[in-house]
């Protein structure tokens, strides 16, 4: 079972549980509360330095690397209220659409990872690839350096349309947690310019796999290869021998990009929980 | 607080620990020459492996930094494990601020 469903799911998938959206933004912070972190208030170089420490540890040795990874996971738990350093989770388009129905307000913002990695600014609405959820977003004006280009508030329908557009382009969706039990954003990621995705695939923390895995129907697949271009995880490849798509479900994150890209509806998402050997593969 | 001992927390490590320590390229940036990286960002765009990252050193409340003001932003070589020493960043750097040793 997904660790967050176990903790905060109340019997459903945790990110579809409305209790995980408002958090303590509605109340005043307590004096003895754990150090909080949100968007712009965190140390600007904090995450970059953490990543750097991890890469430096690769040069030192296996014990040092494991110790740095543990320190990073524990630090993330302390700062962000995550469990085991898992701050995000892959979400298929259909669930992302349900999430924007639950959360309010919703604001399109510039992606911080693309800002760091490529120097992108995303100053206008059509360029924006990140969405902030919940009342925390109302404080954006305090940190204009983080929210370059401001916040573009959207309705539920606009948010869905925006998600579908990005899905068509080939971005995978993920949620981001900012504090314990608080889902604060939907990211649209691609490797390697997404910090969370790069950290997960290269070092094994930050983004959990989603609640689904993709399955190919060989009778419907015509081997066009569009899905193989869309997979960000190296899980989907063309099986050249039979000229069909093949999915390694152990690597599949369940983001559903192959499903939404398939012109013949040959790929479907099935629940991870229904496949016994995949239940604990996160 | 969450009692973590009761939970099944996934802890995958995709890194092959038996191969550590790795020999990684050393990337040095002369910050006296590279002063306006967010305005220039030529190395960021040129690097095929996305090794370099830029960040704002001085996060000031209610103020957006000017990318043309020297010393506000800084380039850091973060993902040295992915650097293939192609030297493209050195070629595009107008200030010759980057040195890579391997």
Burial class (CB in 10 A: 0-12, 13-18, 19+), B11: middle
Given a cut of 70, the residues of chain A with pLDDT beneath it are 24-44
The CA distance from B10 to A180, in Å, is 18
Look-up of token digits 């050193």: B57
The CA distance from A225 to A174, in Å, is 24
In a domain, B80, yes or no: yes
Q: Does A18 touch chain B (CB under 8 A)?
A: no
Question: Which residue range is the domain that position B68 belongs to?
Answer: 34-97
Determine phi and psi for A10, rounding to 5 degrees. 50, 40
Q: What is the pLDDT of residue A40?
A: 44
Q: What is the pLDDT of residue A79?
A: 83
The CA distance from A216 to A209, in Å, is 19
The CA distance from A33 to A136, in Å, is 17
- What CATH number should be reported for the domain holding residue B62? 3.30.70
Helix axes A195-203, A46-60, angle to 10 degrees: 20
In a domain, B1, yes or no: no
Which of B55, B68, B82 has the highest number of chain A CBs within 10 A, making it the mutation to test binding with A?
B55
B10, A84: Cβ pair inside 8 Å? yes
pTM of the model as a whole: 0.91
Task: Report domain extents, chain A.
Answer: 3-42+82-208, 212-275
Q: What is the pLDDT of residue A39?
A: 45
Smallest Cβ distance to A3: which of B8, B22, B44?
B8
A3, B10: Cβ pair inside 8 Å? yes
Count Cα neighbours of A186 within 13 Å in the Cβ-side half-sphere. 35
The CA distance from A130 to A141, in Å, is 17
Percent share of chain B, pLDDT over 90? 75
In a domain, B10, yes or no: no
A66, B13: Cβ pair inside 8 Å? yes
The tally of domains found in chain B comes to 1
The CA distance from B28 to A154, in Å, is 43
In a domain, B4, yes or no: no
Q: What is the CA radius of gyration of chain A?
A: 19
Identify whether the C-beta of residue B101 lies closer than 8 Å to the C-beta of residue B84: no
Look at chain A and count its residues: 282
User: Do the strands A183-189 and A130-133 form a parallel or antiparallel pair, or are they unpaired?
Assistant: antiparallel
Q: What is the pLDDT of residue A187?
A: 95
- CB within 8 A of B101, min separation 6: which ones? B25, B26, B28
Would you tell me how many other CB atoms lie within 10 Å of the CB of residue A8?
Answer: 20
Smallest Cβ distance to B44: which of A60, A73, A118?
A118
Q: How close, in Å, is residue B99 to chain A by CA atoms?
A: 18
CA distance to A26, A115, A123, B43, per residue, from A141 (Å): 18, 18, 15, 30
Task: Please write the tens of the pLDDT for every residue from A177-231.
Answer: 888 888 999 999 999 899 999 999 999 988 999 999 999 999 999 999 999 999 9
Of the candidate CATH numbers 3.30.1600.10, 3.30.70.20, 3.20.20.70, 3.40.50.1820, the domain formed by A212-275 belongs to 3.30.70.20
Smallest Cβ distance to A116: which of B9, B54, B64?
B54
The CA distance from A50 to A199, in Å, is 11
Contact pairs from chain A to chain B, CB under 8 Å: 123
Smallest Cβ distance to B50: which of A146, A180, A192?
A192
In a domain, B8, yes or no: no
Q: Which of A162, A2, A217, A23 is nearest to A90 (CA)?
A: A2
Tokens of B82: 């992915």
More confident residue, A84 or B2: A84
The CA distance from B93 to B40, in Å, is 9
In a domain, B66, yes or no: yes
ipTM computed for the complex: 0.90
In a domain, B16, yes or no: no
Q: What is the pLDDT of residue B70?
A: 93
Identify whether the C-beta of residue A166 lies closer than 8 Å to the C-beta of residue A100: no
Q: Does A67 touch chain B (CB under 8 A)?
A: no
Q: What is the pLDDT of residue A136?
A: 81
């Amino acid at each position: 079972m997904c660790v967050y469903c176990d903790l905060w799911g109340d019997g459903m998938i945790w990110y579809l549980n409305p209790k995980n959206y408002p958090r303590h933004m509605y109340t005043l912070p307590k004096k003895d509360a754990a150090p909080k972190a949100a968007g712009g208030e965190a140390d600007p170089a904090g995450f970059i330095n953490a990543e750097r420490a991890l890469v430096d540890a690769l040069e030192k040795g296996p014990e040092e690397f494991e110790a740095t990874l543990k320190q990073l996971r524990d630090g993330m738990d302390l700062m962000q209220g995550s469990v085991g350093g898992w701050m995000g989770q892959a979400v298929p388009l259909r669930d992302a659409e349900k999430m924007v129905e639950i959360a309010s307000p919703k604001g399109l913002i510039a992606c911080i990872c693309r800002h760091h990695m490529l120097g992108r600014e995303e100053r206008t609405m059509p360029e924006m690839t990140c969405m902030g959820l919940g009342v925390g977003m109302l404080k954006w004006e305090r940190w204009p350096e983080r929210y370059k280009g401001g916040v573009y508030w959207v309705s539920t329908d606009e948010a869905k349309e925006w998600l579908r557009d990005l899905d068509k382009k080939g971005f995978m969706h993920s949620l981001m947690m900012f504090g314990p039990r608080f889902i604060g954003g939907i990211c649209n990621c691609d490797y390697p310019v997404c910090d969370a995705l790069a950290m997960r695939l290269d070092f094994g923390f930050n983004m959990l796999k989603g609640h689904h895995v993709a399955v190919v129907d060989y009778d419907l697949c015509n081997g066009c290869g569009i899905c193989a271009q869309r997979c960000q995880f190296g899980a989907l490849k063309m099986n050249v021998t039979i000229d069909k798509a093949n999915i390694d479900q152990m690597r599949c994150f369940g983001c559903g990009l192959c499903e939404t890209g398939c012109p013949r509806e040959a790929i479907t998402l099935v629940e991870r929980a229904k496949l016994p050997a995949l239940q604990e593969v996160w | 607080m969450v009692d973590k001992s009761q939970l099944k927390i996934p802890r995958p490590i995709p890194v092959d620990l038996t191969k550590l320590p790795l020999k990684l390229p050393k990337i040095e940036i002369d910050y006296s020459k590279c002063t306006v990286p967010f305005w220039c960002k030529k190395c960021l765009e040129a690097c095929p492996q996305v090794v370099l990252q830029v960040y704002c050193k001085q996060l000031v409340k209610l103020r957006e930094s000017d990318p043309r003001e020297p010393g506000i932003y800084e380039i850091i070589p973060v993902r040295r494990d992915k650097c293939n020493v192609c030297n493209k960043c050195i070629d595009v750097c107008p200030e010759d601020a980057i040195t890579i040793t391997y």
